């Protein structure tokens, strides 16, 4: 799927729509340059889940956990992790089968250590596992006020 966003509010609205339909176990991987709008999308997703806390990027803490909505939100940012060993030792596997929704910014950094698409597809042989599926989204910036959000679902 492809969505064009012309403002931060548009990007948040898309995330809010995702949050309203999110199921427990859902994992969302986000890619895009600095300032592309990854965190804006997560802010909207949190709002769609009914979370009222202020959402900010966990760049220095790796993960922020937000509760108080209909599902908990686990927001990971892998920007500071550079090697496969750092990714593996960060312990993110526990967030790949969440009791809520997990969003991973800079998800492309995982690919050296673990291919999420392959992992999700192999786990989906048992429909009870990863009931929420996996969505991979890339945010491109074709213009100063324009974002192209491309996303695909795996394992649903």
**Residue 25 belongs to some domain of the structure:** yes
User: CATH number of the domain that 122 lies in?
Assistant: 3.40.50.300
Domain span holding position 74: 11-97+106-154
Helix-helix angle 8-21:38-48, to 10 degrees: 40
- Over residues 6-29, the pLDDT tens digits come to 999 999 999 999 999 999 999 999
**Residue 62 belongs to some domain of the structure:** yes
What average pLDDT does the segment 103-120 reach? 71
Most confident of the following: 44-58, 82-96, 99-113, 142-156: 44-58
Query: What does DSSP say about strands 63-66 and 2-5: parallel, antiparallel, or unpaired?
Result: unpaired
Q: Let me know if 127 is exposed, middle or buried by CB neighbors in 10 A (0-12, 13-18, 19+).
A: exposed
**Distance between CA atoms of residues 110 and 119, nearest Å:** 11
List helix spans (H) across 31-155: 38-48, 84-89, 116-123
**Residue 38 belongs to some domain of the structure:** yes
**Residue 2 belongs to some domain of the structure:** no
CA proximity to 85, closest of 104, 105, 66, 109: 109
**Residue 5 belongs to some domain of the structure:** no
Q: How many domains in the chain?
A: 1
Would you place residue 124 in the very low, low, confident or very high pLDDT band (cuts 50, 70, 90)? very low
CA proximity to 8, closest of 103, 143, 147: 147
**Residue 130 belongs to some domain of the structure:** yes
Length of the chain: 156
Mean pLDDT is lowest, of 65-69, 90-94, 135-139, for: 90-94
**Residue 115 belongs to some domain of the structure:** yes
**Residue 119 belongs to some domain of the structure:** yes
């Amino acid at each position: 799927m492809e969505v064009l966003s012309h403002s931060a509010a548009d990007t948040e609205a898309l995330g809010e729509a995702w949050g309203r339909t999110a199921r427990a176990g859902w994992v969302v991987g986000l890619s895009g340059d600095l300032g592309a709008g990854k965190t804006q999308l997560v802010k909207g997703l949190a709002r769609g889940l009914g979370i009222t806390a202020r959402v900010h990027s966990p760049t220095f803490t790796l993960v922020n956990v937000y509760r108080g909505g209909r599902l908990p939100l686990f927001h990971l940012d892998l920007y500071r992790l550079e090697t496969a060993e750092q990714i593996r030792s960060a312990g993110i596997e526990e967030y790949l089968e969440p009791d809520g929704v997990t969003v991973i910014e800079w998800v492309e950094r995982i690919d050296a250590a673990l291919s999420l698409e392959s992992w999700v597809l192999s786990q989906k042989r048992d429909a009870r596992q990863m009931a929420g599926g996996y969505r991979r989204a890339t945010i491109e910036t074709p213009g100063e006020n324009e974002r192209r959000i491309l996303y695909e679902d795996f394992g649903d």
